[in-house]
A and B are shown apart, each in its own frame.
Chain A
Amino acid sequence: AAGVIQSPRHLIKEKRETATLKCYPIPRHDTVYWYQQGPGQDPQFLISFYEKMQSDKGSIPDRFSAQQFSDYHSELNMSSLELGDSALYFCASSVSGGSYEQYFGPGTRLTVT
């Protein structure tokens, strides 16, 4: 079965640079979520989109922005990167309604040096 696709899988950036993470949800899933998982931490919700509109916002820094496109893929843009942004970034997708099961991608490991 098709799963959530994230790219790139690994990314190394320097402080103050920008990064763009991409997420391709499972076909026919209309909702996308972004989570950040620091080393040894549980995943923390950043932002979500339903039908291309932002639906919820968590602890996402102002330096980050995201959007969902007409083909339902989503991009997380991160600017002025800081060392503390080093983490695993997960995208998850779901179908609205039902049991709200969120299926996660493999994650993008971002390292800021």
Chain B
Amino acid sequence: GEDVEQSLFLSVREGDSSVINCTYTDSSSTYLYWYKQEPGAGLQLLTYIFSNMDMKQDQRLTVLLNKKDKHLSLRIADTQTGDSAIYFCAAISPNFGNEKLTFGTGTRLTIIP
């Protein structure tokens, strides 16, 4: 089955860019997602990328996909205190009846004032 890995912690100064990395194992993963989870809260879908794309930009967020290396990254420009959260990447290999998300371990982003 799919295995998704992330580094556990990242600390960034306010105003700098944050880059959160993720690797996955299943080359048939078609869609890759980034979710944000604040303490005690639910999972907020931030953005996603389809496997035939290399990059996707959405305001302060940039997703890069290296399909050959099975590596996904999320860049947050001009990081703010409100960006403090756990960020999960997730992968899906949709077949009819098999659309479950496999999540990474999550990266806790801490903003240094």
- Which positions in A face B, CB cutoff 8 Å? 31, 33, 35, 42-45, 48, 50, 55-56, 58, 90, 92, 94, 99-107
Closest to B96 in A: A55
Query: Other than the known A99-B48, A101-B33, A104-B35, what 7 A-B pairs have Cβ atoms closer than 8 Å?
Result: A31-B99, A42-B88, A43-B88, A48-B100, A90-B42, A99-B31, A99-B50
Q: Would B105 and A104 count as touching, CB distance under 8 A?
A: no
- With the chains together, A107 CA to B100 CA distance in Å? 17
Q: Would A105 and B42 count as touching, CB distance under 8 A?
A: yes
On whether A100 and B100 interact (CB within 8 A), knowing A43-B43, A90-B43, the answer reads no
Q: At the interface, yes or no: B15 with Cβ under 8 Å from chain A?
A: no
- Cβ of A42: which chain B residues have Cβ within 8 Å of it? 88, 103-106
Q: In residues 18-43 of chain B, which contact A (Cβ within 8 Å)?
A: 31, 33, 35, 41-43
From B43, B98, B99, B102, A104 is in contact (CB under 8 Å) with: B43
Closest to A40 in B: B106
The 10 lowest CB-CB distance pairs between A and B, nearest first, are A45-B100, A42-B103, A104-B43, A55-B97, A106-B42, A104-B42, A107-B42, A56-B97, A43-B103, A100-B94
- With the chains together, A92 CA to B100 CA distance in Å? 10
Q: In residues 60-113 of chain B, which contact A (Cβ within 8 Å)?
A: 88, 92, 94, 96-106
- With the chains together, A45 CA to B92 CA distance in Å? 12
Q: At the interface, yes or no: B10 with Cβ under 8 Å from chain A?
A: no
- Cβ of B94: which chain A residues have Cβ within 8 Å of it? 100
Q: At the interface, yes or no: B55 with Cβ under 8 Å from chain A?
A: no
Q: List 23 A-B contacts (CB under 8 A).
A: A35-B101, A42-B104, A42-B105, A44-B103, A45-B101, A45-B102, A48-B99, A50-B97, A55-B96, A55-B97, A55-B98, A56-B97, A56-B100, A100-B92, A100-B94, A100-B99, A101-B33, A101-B45, A102-B33, A102-B45, A102-B101, A104-B42, A104-B44
